[in-house]
Amino acid sequence: MEYSRRFIRFQWVALISLFLVISAGSFVRITGSGMGCPDWPKCFGQWIPPTAEAQLPSNYLSIFQEKRAKKAVKFCKFLTAIGMKETAKKIKEDPTLLKEEPFNAARTYTEYINRLLGFLAGNLMLLGFVWSLIYYRSPWLLGLSFLNLIFMGIEAWFGSIVVATNLVPWTITVHMFFALVILLIQIYLIYRISPIHREPIKVKPLVYYIWWGIFAITFYQMFLGTQVREYIDELTKQGLGRDAWSDRFGMEFLIHRSFSWLVLVLLVYLGWKNEQEGKISIIRWAFIILSIELIAGVLLAYFDLPGLVQTAHLVFATILLGILGMGTFRFKKQII
């Protein structure tokens, strides 16, 4: 089945919106704006949040604390029902669970823009599903579009859980997992509908297996990076600045750093082989993006630089994952 250029371009726009959501989420985190809106889906009970604390009732902290407490209790019941009693217990006993932050306009609107981008991405997914249903009705296309729409709904719901539990670390990791799954499904959808990207790229078996290995390691690296960031958040809560982070990094950071160098070595090898033999553009791009991402990672770990470096590190890691994902779909082993 052939798909219109307009439909293909629309799916690319939807993919870009997902990258924007992930980037905005990282910016929310580095600015400490995760609790900029203490409720969900509204922000301070309003669709357009206030700009000053004077616009809120005097007891607004207790109002939203009570609302979050009710949502947290429901979530703990859900966790208990699916056999995660210990996790539910830890959440209930977390002393920071119901800690409220005073109104901060900058943080509120940082989180609010993040939500608007998520709302935009969700609506693009919905529009893509409706478009597919009306004009194409291909079972696989409808299935993937609907699946991604469901995942977007789960992602939005889990976003509310992240807020309700006051940014419990593992909830942020799950939040990231769904974001990456949605992203890879969208890339696969583009691969299937685009004549250019649907064209297979034949590579030697060694290149094929190394590429898959890099993809798997990078996917795992995204979660290790999230855990490293969670540890940094804990150090920050203890009053430790950036200059003290590198001295206290745990095993997750060491594994994360080692795997980064492993990916670099493998991609350097693939890049060298590629320039000698195939000159495949997707391998070149993967090497360029990885280089930028590693530079951002080194600056983040060892130098006292602005938190925007963290956003750059995550954005380029996500772009790299997307390129690797497209390669795993397009690469076909040569028969030797």
Q: What is the DSSP string of 118-168?
A: HHHHHHHHHHHHHHHHHHT--HHHHHHHHHHHHHHHHHHHHHHHHHHTTS-
User: Which domain-ending residue is among 144, 167, 198?
Assistant: 198
What pLDDT score does 244 carry? 57
Does residue 301 share a domain with residue 224?
Answer: yes
Q: Which of 151, 168, 198 is the last residue in one of the domains?
A: 198
- Both 23 and 128 in a single domain? yes
Beta strands in the chain (DSSP E): 201-203, 331-333
Residues 204 and 193 in one domain: no
31 and 172 assigned to the same domain = yes
* Integer angstrom CA distances of residue 299 from 147, 173, 176, 247, 281: 38, 23, 23, 15, 28
What pLDDT score was predicted for residue 134?
Answer: 92
> What's the pLDDT tens digit per position in 252-271?
667 777 888 888 889 888 88
Among 161-170, 300-309, 313-322, the range scoring the smallest mean pLDDT is: 300-309
Residue 308 CA, distance from chain mean position: 16
Of 198, 228, 252, at which residue does a domain stop? 198
**The model's pTM:** 0.85
Same domain assignment for residues 207 and 194: no
Q: 189 with 207, same domain?
A: no
134 and 68 together in one domain: yes
Q: Are residues 160 and 273 in the same domain?
A: no
Residues 6+ apart with CB under 8 A from 189: 11, 141, 144, 145, 148
Does the pLDDT of residue 278 top 90, yes or no? Answer: no
Q: Give, as one character, the DSSP assignment of residue 43.
A: B
Structure letter (DSSP) for residue 40: S
Please name the helix (run of DSSP H) or strand (run of DSSP E) that holds residue 55, with its range, or none. none
For residue 249, what pLDDT is reported? 62
| Per-residue pLDDT at 130 | 95
For residues 33 and 141, membership in a common domain is answered with yes
Domain of residue 76: give its range.
1-198
**What φ, ψ does residue 334 adopt, rounded to 5°?**
-75, 145
214 with 325, same domain: the answer is yes
Confidence label for 164 from pLDDT (cuts 50, 70 and 90): low
Collapsing DSSP to helix, strand or coil, 202 comes out as: strand
Q: pLDDT by residue (tens digit) across 196-230?
A: 888 888 888 988 999 999 999 988 888 777 776 66
| Contacts for 295 with CB less than 8 Å, ≥ 6 apart | none
d(CA 335, CA 232): 48
Give how many domains the chain has, as a whole number. Answer: 2
Q: Are residues 51 and 173 in the same domain?
A: yes
Do 183 and 206 reside in the same domain of the chain? Answer: no
